């Protein structure tokens, strides 16, 4: 039902990767409240889905987690550092951020694209990449199952291949938090499934890594996703274990449309029930 909230599990081991308390973000040009009263904890090894309709505040929330902006009020702690009390440039280097809108020179080879993750630059800084750094880039290409692309220019890689290269790039800094901002955008079915599998293997192979995935489609969530947060008009509608959050009633309330949610073999799907017209008596 609307307004229902599943509480975060606060008893997990280890310090929080993300800790938000009573966070509000107000757009200064219009005084519009973008996020309102956000409380959220993400712990090491947790994998979250961040869901909501367009305009719900997902992008703003992700920008807070990536230390790309500050809240208007409330506190945001990322990797143990509170925004406003830390050099955000250092903090950003410890958070992996993947978005399809990321600028990448098309002529760079796949290996060079991954290398730029070491320096956090668009263009390679070749003098900064010693043999060990180059070997690490090769290992990440193999981990994301795109090692055969090593010498292929980025511009001729498919959308799914590019998404996996950007994830490998983000992992060069060995982040404790990985933000995936609609990484499946415009992928065909085989590419989507390849990426889902790659993200699942990544979660299994890195037990301390926490991830937050923004998506519009439940089908894009890997079986590793164990928590979900639903946003509606800047407020949290529900958060907690996926089985408690991704229900027909809560997803319907989130999107304002009659939604049926199903789960099979750890994968999710959602569809809108057909609206039928009832003739007047």
Looking at residue 279, what is its pLDDT?
A: 53
Is residue 278 included in any domain, yes or no? no
Residues 86 and 10 in one domain: yes
Is 280 part of a structural domain of the chain?
no
Say which DSSP state 57 is in: S
> Is residue 128 pLDDT above 50, yes or no?
yes
* End-of-domain residue from the set 130, 152, 174: 174
Residue 120 domain flag: yes
| Mean model confidence pLDDT for the chain | 90
- pLDDT, one tens digit per residue, over 44-75 is 999 999 999 999 999 999 999 999 999 999 99
- CATH no. for residue 189? 3.40.50.300
One domain for residues 202 and 252: yes
How does pLDDT run across 160-198, given as a tens digit for each residue?
999 999 999 999 999 999 999 999 888 999 999 999 999
User: Residues 53-90, buried b or exposed e (16+ Cβ, 10 A)?
Assistant: beebbbbbbbbbbbbbeebeebebbbbebebeeeebee
4 domain-assigned? yes
123 and 252 part of one domain:
no
Task: Let me know whether 116 and 242 are in one domain.
Answer: no
Domain end residue (candidates: 174, 196, 226): 174
Same domain, 194 and 76: yes
Mean pLDDT of 1-18: 55
How many Cα atoms within 13 Å fall on the side-chain side of residue 230? 29
Give a yes or no: residue 276 inside a domain.
no
Residues 129 and 180 in one domain: no
The reply to whether 90 and 180 lie within a common domain is yes
- Give alpha helix (H) positions in the chain: 58-65, 88-92, 110-119, 131-143, 159-171, 189-205, 242-245, 248-255
The boundaries of the domain holding residue 243 are 1-94+176-271
pLDDT score for 2: 38
Q: How many domains does the chain have?
A: 2
Domain endpoint, select from 174, 207, 235: 174
Whether residues 72 and 107 share a domain: the answer is: no
């Amino acid at each position: 039902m609307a307004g229902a909230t599943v509480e975060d599990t606060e008893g997990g081991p280890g310090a929080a990767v993300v800790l938000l308390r009573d966070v509000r973000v107000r757009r200064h040009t219009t005084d519009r409240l973008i996020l309102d009263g956000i409380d959220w904890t993400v712990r090491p090894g947790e994998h979250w889905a961040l869901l909501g309709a367009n305009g719900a505040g997902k992008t703003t929330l992700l920008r807070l987690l990536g230390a790309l902006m500050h809240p208007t009020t409330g506190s945001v702690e990322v990797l143990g550092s509170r925004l406003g009390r830390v050099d955000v440039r250092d903090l950003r280097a410890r958070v992996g951020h993947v978005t399809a809108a990321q600028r990448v020179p098309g002529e760079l080879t796949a290996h060079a694209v991954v290398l730029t993750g070491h320096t956090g630059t668009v263009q390679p800084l070749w003098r900064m990449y010693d043999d060990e750094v180059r070997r690490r880039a090769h290992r990440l290409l193999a981990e994301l199952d795109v090692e055969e692309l090593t010498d292929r220019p980025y511009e001729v890689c498919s959308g799914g291949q590019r998404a996996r290269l950007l994830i490998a790039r983000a992992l060069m800094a060995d982040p404790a938090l990985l933000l995936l901002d609609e990484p499946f955008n415009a992928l065909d079915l085989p590419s989507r499934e390849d990426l889902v599998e790659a993200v699942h293997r990544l979660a299994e192979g890195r037990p301390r890594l926490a991830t937050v995935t923004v998506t519009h489609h439940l089908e894009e969530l890997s079986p590793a996703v164990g928590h979900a947060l639903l946003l509606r008009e800047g407020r949290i509608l529900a958060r907690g274990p996926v089985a408690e959050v991704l229900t027909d009633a809560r997803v319907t309330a989130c999107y304002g449309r009659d939604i049926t949610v199903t789960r099979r073999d750890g994968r999710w799907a959602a569809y809108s029930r057909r609206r039928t017209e009832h003739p007047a008596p």
